[in-house]
Structure 1
Amino acid sequence: MKIRCFIRCIVMLIGLLGFMSVQALAAPQDEAGKQLPQIDYLQGVVLKVQPLTQLKKVQGMSGAELVDIRLTAGEETGKEIKVTNYKMDRPGFDLHPAAGDKVIVAVSQEAGGKTYHLADYDRMPYVYVLLGAFALTLIAVGGKVGIKSLFVVCFAIFIILQGMIPLILGRHLNLILATWLTSALIAVVTQITVSGWNAKTWGAIAGTVGGVAVAGLLAVLSIQAMHLTGLDNEEAIMLKVTYLADIDFQEVLFAGIVMGALGAVMDVAISIASAQYEIKSSCPQYGFKELYKAGINVGRDVMGTMSNTLVLAYLGSSLPLLLLLSAQEHVPLLRIVNLNLIATEVARTITGSIGLICSIPLAALATGFFLSQKR
């Protein structure tokens, strides 16, 4: 038991140190050449809001208001400033502050001194509340397993933000290779941390890697065959035009499909492996055939709900698009289904679901094989 715990710690430590080293190497080497104006962002709270009717006739603006703000962070904590908040009748961009609201203030250095602008609402306090509720719920319900689950969630976020993304931006690593490495590392560390070093974990890892590999292969084929560009939303287009002109957004789309399917595939693989592990513990006389059959039966039950989970997740994120298309009754179905955005979502959903389904026999086979061995 001590040896197993030691091996688990070594694996986790190697993974963390490896990606921390990669992240250090992936840091951009040359920041010169991009002389952007320095803008600082400070937190503040709204004290008072007054309408400015005399500015309604400004071109492109539908109105304005004078906002009194007290800064609550930085060197100017406690300072009260006045900011003009312009409105353009654009719901996605207009801010409607009220007294007591927490906001973000953009501070820029200009020739005449500092200039303050109302940037956005300060949503982080409420994000922290949600994160705290999430962590407490995990620990209260799961106990030690909940703590492990919290660790693997943080690990996955850390690897993506501090490993994968810096590799792409700093070293221009091939995005497909970076996605495979990241997915494999997340799958291995997650399964070992949650389930331990045993046959159940090995089978779950094999099922996860196999299912994600199938989803990735289908994603590559779909992107090429359907001529998907990866530029299916405003954020992707903005990145292509401004900062990431040299990056292939078809690879970005591939990475999104694989990372989106990874969580569901891991869930299915560990569910099957855990069921087989418990059956073997209760019935030691069972061999490979019985364990494989049990794993397949469990996988079939899980398959229906998990495939539905992927479909509902993608449909939920695309609900505004569905409403937009449904409201335009004069647009023919042929045109709708051939839109790049629609075809992309279809490919994302179907490839992820197929990868999930393929992980079921793979996990059942691998776990049944490992559990049926004498040692």
Structure 2
Amino acid sequence: MKKQLLFILVMLLSTGSLHAAPTPAVAYEKGTVVFVGPLDQSMQKQYQMAKGELVSIRMTSGPEAGKVVDTFNFVSSHSAYEIKVNPGDKVIVAVTHDLGKTSYYVSDFDRFDYVYVLGGLFVLALVVFGGFIGAKSVFVIAFSVLLIFKFFIGQVLAHQYSLTLLTLAVAAVIAMATQLVISGLSRKTLAAVLGTIGGVAIAGLLSMLAIKLMHLTGLDSEEAMLLKASTLSNIDFQGVLFAGMVFGALGAVMDVTISIASAVYEVKSVHPAISFKELVQAGMNVGRDIMGTMSNTLILAYAGSALPLMLLIASQQNAPMLKILNLNLIVTEFARALTGSIGLICAIPLTAMIAAMLLNRD
């Protein structure tokens, strides 16, 4: 039923009508709830619904900013998609103009202002506790986000390049920019960059094999199905899935490789006469300590995002597990977590050997 409703929504969004009159344009503005109470008699006659409440909203954006408007908010206490508001809540108001009449509806909560607050606290914590390195971290985070959102997504929509090559190129650029800005130009940084590229390449190769051999479609989420059913049906969703696997592993692999390279560098600085084999062994000793926790970090990150899915499976006592375990959605989550973890593990010996080789050069 949920997928059917999603399909109907897609059709409405993509066509604007189902062989009917055009739907009125909708504008979305911000507002603050000032009153919530029972319907008066006129609104009961207007909406002919008993289960609802009168909501008064002070508009805070748009041409009607400052104006208090009244609207009906349906509440049945049975749907997870209803919006139960209280005085003081910030909301998004859908404003429609149809046949000379303006109507207002509570569309959703206004949440993104709090994202700015959390983002500000995140930047403040980085700068206060990280100092100059923290400030550089803010820069590389902004660079990575802009590169993905402005360049990578734009190229995906343009269909000009292979999504596999594009993903690997963007991952390499992010790895180089991050390590160079944070650690500077040195042999240690070069070892971390090469180890990252190697680990991510291994994760990417395994991701491609998993997608092909497991027949993964990339349509494992409602967002992907929404894109497929609407105007972006020609996108390579298997390629998008590959990109998600690679980018998901990239951050953890970078963390591991710079730790290994830094450890090998410190050992070399304390014992300049140490041999190549001993340097590699030192890097591996540090890597083994990191390996368990970082692999667990990846698994827990994916498990946390899939927690509702795991609860759904656990609640179905009589469901056929053979069918469930082979669902595209389930296998995709396993493949995503395991390919990234394998790439992370392989990056440890790669970085240890590359760092030892570079630091032992005269």
Which of 11, 24, 34 pairs up with 1:47? 34
Task: Name the residue aligned to 1:142.
Answer: 130
1:184 is matched with 172
Moved more, 312-321 or 126-135: 126-135
Determine if contact 1:200/1:367 at 8 Å carries over to the other structure: yes
Question: Partners in 2 of 1:176 and 1:323 — Cα distance?
Answer: 33
Is 1:308 the counterpart of 2:301? The answer is no
Deviation at 1:283, TM superposition (A): 1.8
Which amino acid in structure 1 is aligned with residue 33 of structure 2?
A: V
After TM superposition, the score normalised by the length of structure 1 is: 0.85
Q: State whether structure 2 residue 125 is matched by structure 1 residue 125.
A: no
- Select 2:209's aligned residue among 212, 217, 221: 221
Deviation at 1:106, TM superposition (A): 2.2
Match of 1:193 among 174, 181, 191: 181
> Structure 1 residues 136 and 94, CA, compared in 2 at 3 Å: closer, same or farther?
same
Aligned amino acid, residue 52 of structure 2 = A
Matched, 1:325 2:313: yes
**2:187 corresponds to which letter in structure 1?**
A
Distance 1:197 1:216, change over 3 A: same
Render the CA deviation track for 1:326-349: whole Å, top value 9, x for unaligned. 111111322221111111111111
* DSSP 3-state at the match of 1:188: helix
Q: What is the rounded CA distance, in whole Å, between the counterparts of 1:37 and 1:195 in structure 2? A: 55
Residue 251 (structure 1) aligned with residue 239 (structure 2) = yes
Choose the corresponding residue for 1:291, options 270, 279, 288: 279
* CA-CA distance at 1:175 after TM superposition: 2.2
Contact 2:157 2:235 in 1 (8 A): no
Amino acid at match of 1:203: A
Query: How far is the alpha carbon of 1:257 from its aligned partner?
Result: 0.6
In 2, distance between residues paired with 1:88 and 1:225? Answer: 46
Residue 158 (structure 1) aligned with residue 146 (structure 2): yes
**Secondary structure, aligned partner of 1:246:** coil
Deviates more, 1:171-180 or 1:194-203: 171-180
Distance 1:79 1:367, change over 3 A: same
Residues 1:236 and 2:224 aligned together? yes
TM-score between the two structures when normalised by the length of structure 2: 0.88
Return the match for 2:346 from 358, 365, 373: 358
Aligned partner (choices 74, 79, 87) of residue 67 of structure 2: 79
2:11 counterpart residue number: none
Pick aligned residue for 1:282 from 270, 287, 294:
270
Equivalent residue for 1:64?
52
Unpaired runs of 5+ residues, structure 2, are 1-14, 17-21
| Aligned-residue offset at 1:286 | 2.1
Residue 102 (structure 1) aligns with: 90
Alpha-carbon separation, structure 1, partners of 2:204 and 2:323: 27
DSSP 3-state at the match of 2:71? strand
Gaps of 5+ in 1: 1-32
How far 1:229 sits from its partner (Å)?
1.0
Alpha-carbon distance, 1:90 to partner: 5.9
1:55–1:64 contact (8 Å) kept in structure 2? no
Instruction: Describe the shift of the 1:36–1:367 C-alpha distance in structure 2 as closer, same or farther (beyond 3 A).
Output: farther
Q: What secondary structure sits across from 2:219 in the alignment?
A: coil
1:337 pairs with 2:325: yes
Shift of 1:263: 0.6
Q: 1:339-363: per-residue Cα shift (whole Å, max 9, x none)?
A: 1111111111111111001111111
Structure 1 vs Structure 2: percent identity of aligned residues? 52
- Count, aligned residues: 341
Q: CA-to-partner distance for each residue in 1:5-61, whole Å, 9 max, x for gaps?
A: xxxxxxxxxxxxxxxxxxxxxxxxxxxx999975432211001112349869x89x8
Paired amino acid for 2:58: R
Partner SS state of residue 81, structure 1: strand
Q: In 2, Cα distance between the equivalents of 1:282 and 1:62? A: 78
**Deviation by residue 1:290-323 (Cα, 9 ceiling, x = unmatched):** 2211111111110000100011111111111111
